[in-house]
Amino acid sequence: MIDFSFTEEQELFRKAIHEWCAKKLNLEAVRKMDKTGKMPDGLVKEMADLGLLIMTAPEAHGGAGADWITACIAAEELGYADISCAVPVFFLVQSSWGFVVDRYASEDVRNAVIRPATKGNAFIGIGTTESGGGSDVAAFKSTGKKVGKDWIINGEKMYISGTEEVQKMGGGYWITVRTAPAPPGAPHKGLTGFYLPIKTPGVEVTKRFDDVGRMGISTGGFSMKNVKIPDSYRLGNENEGFYPTMEGFDMARLLIAAVCIGVTQRVLEIGMDYIKQRKAFGRPIGKFEGIQFELADDWAELEAMRSFVYRTAWMVDERYKHNKFTPLECVKYISAIKLKVPPFAMRAAEHAMVWMGAYGYSQECPIDMAWRGLMSYVIGAEGALNIQRIVIGRELLGKDFIPYK
């Protein structure tokens, strides 16, 4: 018999995070983040105290040893509270990429960043995107050359989350660079992952980009000029960094979908409160089928998407715990939720804004923050939508049907 319920421990965890968010991340606090461009002082430390930072890392390495269903619960509740998606980004980047860094790291890296980050004393993020390649990892131009027991890294990374936060907190990024020429027909080979401490000599952080949304967390870039890092900071095997990098993207995509579920839940609740009170032609506008039917469709789709997300999280847990599913079996579902959930969430936000008329277009209404934050996931944060379609098509039809080969 299939049991769709959460465990008692997971329900208690959800309740605790929900209550904390209600106190620390109410809509007034979220609007303040949106205006000031930074998270409230002390928030990161409180997240650490709650066990939210790299919660997916093993307890022996400083994490909570949380499974991916529990991580999705946290992501959903943070999305419900911070509909601008800033704090959720801070959370999901560390819980996904921190997990993968820890999985492939030496003890040197764990001591340098993983254990401090779980305490809120460092930041670990993803720094792979370049001007000529984001989803196309094989197109990266940054290079690494081995010299003795060190690596010399050169290149530039762009559109990277947390560039201001990492300078304040310490820590660094997973980077993927080319360390060997790609064999003919295999551009994904010859890449290697590294942990790059942001304060390493030769690393220069660019100015903050003026993003449209997620204003409470910074986005920027950094250049690397003859940066020397030890071989102990290599993540995984030399020249085999493509698949570990994809693993990080997959875990982030899973949490993004969970965040979007939380944002959508909150947006629809805000919209329902409005349409029950706002009157036109002598009756609440929620009585009009043009609005009510759209709400019904959105709610039905939300519940379907929620089940899809948690089913995928269950598959990921079964993969890591029991090898029940292969990575590629999980990837197909992860790409499906990244493809479907963010655009749906954004449509639901648009619907609620339109229900509210002129009020919905003003910043007196909070939903603009959700719409702007969700757009980043539609545009391509952690992988563009058409990339997800390519991945799904590859898994359904086989590698002979990959369009770029």
Tell me, yes or no, whether 231 and 252 share the same domain.
no
Q: Which of 96, 123, 150 is the last residue of a domain?
A: 123
CATH value at residue 181? 2.40.110.10
Tell me, yes or no, whether 77 and 153 share the same domain.
no
Tell me, yes or no, whether 385 and 264 share the same domain.
yes
pLDDT-derived band of residue 134, with 50, 70 and 90 as boundaries?
low
Tell me, yes or no, whether 284 and 367 share the same domain.
yes
Note whether residue 3 is domain-resident. no
- Per-residue pLDDT tens for 205-250? 988 888 888 889 999 999 999 999 999 999 999 999 999 999 999 9
Tell me, yes or no, whether 287 and 372 share the same domain.
yes
Tell me, yes or no, whether 34 and 161 share the same domain.
no
Cα–Cα distance measured from residue 314 to residue 68, given in angstroms and rounded to the nearest whole number: 7
Burial grade of 101 (CB within 10 A; 0-12, 13-18, 19 or more): buried
pTM, two decimals, is 0.94
Tell me, yes or no, whether 96 and 128 share the same domain.
no
Cα–Cα distance measured from residue 100 to residue 104, given in angstroms and rounded to the nearest whole number: 6
- Per-residue pLDDT tens for 263-303? 999 999 999 999 999 988 999 999 999 999 999 999 999 99
Tell me, yes or no, whether 338 and 231 share the same domain.
no
Please answer whether residues 154 and 226 qualify as being in contact, where contact means their C-beta atoms are separated by less than 8 angstroms: yes
Tell me, yes or no, whether 289 and 260 share the same domain.
yes
Q: Which of 235, 250, 269 is the last residue of a domain?
A: 235
Q: Which of 123, 142, 167 is the last residue of a domain?
A: 123
Note whether residue 43 is domain-resident. yes
Please answer whether residues 90 and 126 qualify as being in contact, where contact means their C-beta atoms are separated by less than 8 angstroms: no
Note whether residue 2 is domain-resident. no
Phi and psi of 231, rounded to 5°?
-60, -25
Domain residue limits at 330: 242-401
Query: For 70-121, what is the HEC assignment?
Result: HHHHHHHHHHHHCCCCHHHHHHHHHHHHHHHHHHHCCHHHHHHHHHHHHCCC
Note whether residue 100 is domain-resident. yes
